[in-house]
Every structure is written in C-alpha cells, then in structure tokens.
C-alpha cells in the first residue's frame, strides 16, 4: 500500500489495510482523496508563505499638491488630500469633477476658451464659490439637487454623464467667456466613468477616469521645470502644466523612470508619459494663448522614442500619468518612494 493512500486513510479515519490485502484493487475514490489532501496541503503552504516585500527607494519629497475642481480652471493648492481611484479630493473639492460644456454636451477646455484658466474655485461650508475677472462671484451648492437634469456629455469623443449645475451657473460662464452659450456640469461617483481601454486603446492597465484627460493623477518634478526654464527666454510657472503632485529632491526627468510609487499610504502605478499640447501655451495669469512657447522648446528635446510614436505622435513629453492602486492620504512633505521588486 502506498504512503499517500495510507495517509489518506488515516486522515479519513479509516483503518489501515491488513498485510495480504495490498494486492486487492484500490477504490478510485481513495486515490482521489489522497491527491486532494496533497493539493490542500500545498495550498495551505503557499498561503502561509510571506509575500515578497518590494524594496523602497526614496526618490524625492512631495512639494505641492493641487486639486483642479473644474476642468481647465485654476488649481486649489492643498497641504493634504485624500487620493481616491478617481483622483485627489479635499472636503467637497474633487479633482476635475466639474466641467464646462457647450449646449450639446461637448467639453470646453482652455484649448478653445483660454480665459477659463482665470476662474478660481474655493469651498466654504457646503458651497463652492467661483470668481473671475469682471464678473460677480457665483455661489453653488457643492452637490447638485437630484432634480437637476443629467446630461450626456462628450470628453475627447467618449461618452460620459454630468448633472447640470443650473441656469445661473450657465449664465455666469456665458457672461464671462462672451463667445457662446455654455453649461456647467458635475460628475457624481455613481455615474459611469470613462474606462482606460477606450481612452487609450490597447492600454494594459484597467482604471476609470471622470473628466481628467487620461488618468486620475499627474506627477511632475520641480527639477524638470527648472531644466525647461534654463532653455526659455520667458520663464514659465508650474501651474501652466497642471500637475496634481509636484516632487522635489530628484534629478530633472527622473520621474520618467518611476513605474510604481508609494507616497504616504497611497500606491500608484505609471500609465504613460504626459503628451503636451497647445494648452501648455496658455498663460495662467493672463488667459492669453501663445500657441508657441513653451511647447516649441519642449519639442526640441522632449520627443518620444520612435518606437512610441503610435502613442505620442509629435507631442513632447513632460510629466507622467499615474493610476491609483491603493487609495489613502497624501501630505506635502511626504517622502516619495519608488517601489522596486
């Protein structure tokens, strides 16, 4: 009688076979039970093994955290934030959960309306306060009533929804921009977000995005901006590139090499580099679009590898997009760790 069968009989509470009976055929169920016990033991052993820990290498420190409540409008600098799967939030302020649209639901950004960058948003109690040059402030509830219409909207050609923020908000943006009629919509957590696979066909990472361009978080280093400014006649500010997390204490463009990060208790994974467009030529202080700089200078030394032209085409790369693998909290001053296998 084999050792496996003996072990199986003992485990099942059956007596051992007497000598002389070993030549008798063994029932099929007995062999199956033995194999099952072996498999169970292997599974328990695998689960009991400690997971291999990833090595942490500090690559910098969080210098600034930014939330952009309305797509293309001014940032709100915060000292700490919650990092959710859909991006940064602080109280009622959530990153790019509001968006200006045309009447037909198509998004409007500073690419079409550069003066949007002059609109600021603050939060007081349960209200959002919008301010812009030449118009009175607008006060809205941080959450729209359920009686307001939910619109079908379009962001870079993809369908998404938004709850209408009312006629007063629509008139406020229309009066400020003075080009055509606009609406303001708000994304809600129970709405269907845009899937990464449709934003970037063939994307191997699976995540959701509300109104941001490509991913929930964009990271840029202070050193990369300093490097760019050494090449420009007119220096530019960090705000022109609209990062969520600014990192200090690293080399210029070192962020290109960060695949997995731990910041606070938040784990992030790199999605792709951030391709820059004409929006990076909008002055955040004046709302004037230059259409040349700093985009032309970036094109002179920050184009992608030829093997990646199918992704980035002729856009220069500056900063990196990340998805959130483990949600948590972030603070200015947090160490930024690269996770190495």
Give the position of tokens 């349960």: 126
- What's the mean pLDDT in 268-280? 97
**Chain centroid offset of residue 205 CA:** 11
Look at residue 34 and tell me whether its pLDDT is greater than 70.
no
DSSP 276-303: --GGGGB-TTT--B-SSTTHHHHHHH-P
pLDDT value of residue 341? 82
Helix, strand, coil tally for the chain in percent (to 5): 25, 35, 40
Confidence tier at 26 by pLDDT (50, 70, 90): low
pLDDT value of residue 55? 95
Residue 12 forms part of a structural domain: no
Residue 168 forms part of a structural domain: yes
Query: Which stretch of 16-25, 47-56, 136-145 has the lowest confidence by average pLDDT?
Result: 16-25
Look at residue 3 and tell me whether its pLDDT is greater than 90.
no
Look at residue 313 and tell me whether its pLDDT is greater than 50.
yes
Residue 1 forms part of a structural domain: no
- Tens digit of each residue's pLDDT (9 = 90 or more) over 83-138: 999 999 999 999 999 999 999 999 999 999 999 999 999 999 999 999 999 999 99
Confidence tier at 40 by pLDDT (50, 70, 90): low
Query: In the predicted model, what is the mean pLDDT of the chain?
Result: 89
- Tens digit of each residue's pLDDT (9 = 90 or more) over 192-225: 999 999 998 877 889 999 999 999 999 999 999 9
Q: Give the domain extent around 303.
A: 55-340
pLDDT value of residue 237? 97
- What's the mean pLDDT in 170-186? 98
Residue 23 forms part of a structural domain: no
Residue 250 forms part of a structural domain: yes
Confidence tier at 266 by pLDDT (50, 70, 90): very high
Q: pLDDT higher for 146 or 44?
A: 146
pLDDT value of residue 8? 44
Q: Could you give the CA distance from residue 137 to residue 159 in angstroms, rounded to a whole number?
A: 31
Residue 49 forms part of a structural domain: no
Look at residue 231 and tell me whether its pLDDT is greater than 80.
yes
Q: At what angle do helices 28-48 and 3-11 cross, to 10 degrees?
A: 80
Q: What percent of the chain has pLDDT over 90?
A: 82
Please give the helix or strand (H or E) that residue 229 lies within, else none.
helix 222-229
Look at residue 253 and tell me whether its pLDDT is greater than 50.
yes
Please compute Rg for the chain using Cα positions.
28
Instruction: State the total domains in the chain.
Output: 1
Residue 117 forms part of a structural domain: yes
Residue 307 forms part of a structural domain: yes
Which residues fall within 8 angstroms of residue 246, CB to CB, at 6 or more apart? 62, 63, 64, 65, 66, 219, 220, 221, 222, 238
CATH of the domain at 134: 2.40.33.20
- Contact present, 251 and 306 (Cβ < 8 Å): no
The bridge status of strand 217-221 relative to strand 245-248 is: parallel
């Amino acid at each position: 009688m084999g050792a496996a069968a003996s072990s199986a009989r003992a485990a099942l509470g059956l007596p051992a076979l007497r000598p002389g009976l070993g030549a008798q055929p063994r029932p099929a169920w007995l062999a199956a039970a033995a194999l099952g016990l072996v498999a169970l033991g292997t599974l328990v052993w695998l689960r009991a093994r400690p997971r291999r820990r990833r090595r942490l290498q500090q690559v910098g420190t969080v210098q600034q955290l930014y939330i952009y409540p309305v797509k293309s409008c001014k940032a709100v600098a915060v000292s700490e934030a919650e990092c959710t799967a859909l991006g940064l939030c602080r109280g009622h302020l959530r990153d790019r959960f509001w968006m200006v649209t045309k009447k037909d639901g198509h998004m409007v950004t500073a690419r079409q309306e550069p003066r949007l960058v002059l609109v600021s948003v603050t939060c007081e109690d349960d209200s959002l306060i919008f301010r812009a040059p030449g118009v009175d402030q607008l006060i809205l509830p941080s959450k729209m009533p359920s009686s307001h219409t939910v619109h079908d909207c379009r962001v870079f050609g993809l369908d998404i929804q938004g709850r209408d923020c009312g006629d007063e908000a629509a008139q406020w943006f229309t009066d400020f921009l003075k080009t055509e009629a606009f609406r303001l919509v708000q994304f809600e957590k129970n709405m269907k977000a845009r899937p990464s696979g449709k934003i970037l066909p063939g994307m191997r990472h699976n995540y959701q995005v509300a109104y941001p361009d490509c991913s929930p978080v964009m990271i840029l280093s202070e050193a990369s901006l300093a490097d760019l400014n050494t090449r420009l006649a007119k220096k530019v500010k960090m705000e022109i590139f609209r990062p969520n997390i600014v990192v200090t204490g690293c080399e210029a463009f070192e962020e290109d090499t960060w695949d997995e990060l731990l910041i606070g208790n938040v784990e992030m994974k790199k999605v792709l580099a951030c391709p820059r467009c004409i929006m990076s030529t909008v002055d955040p202080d004046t709302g004037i679009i230059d259409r040349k700089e700093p985009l032309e200078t970036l094109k002179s030394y920050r184009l992608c590898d030829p093997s990646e032209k199918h992704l980035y085409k002729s856009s220069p790369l500056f900063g990196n997009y990340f998805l959130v693998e483990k949600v948590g909290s972030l603070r200015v001053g947090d160490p930024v760790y690269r996770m190495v296998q």
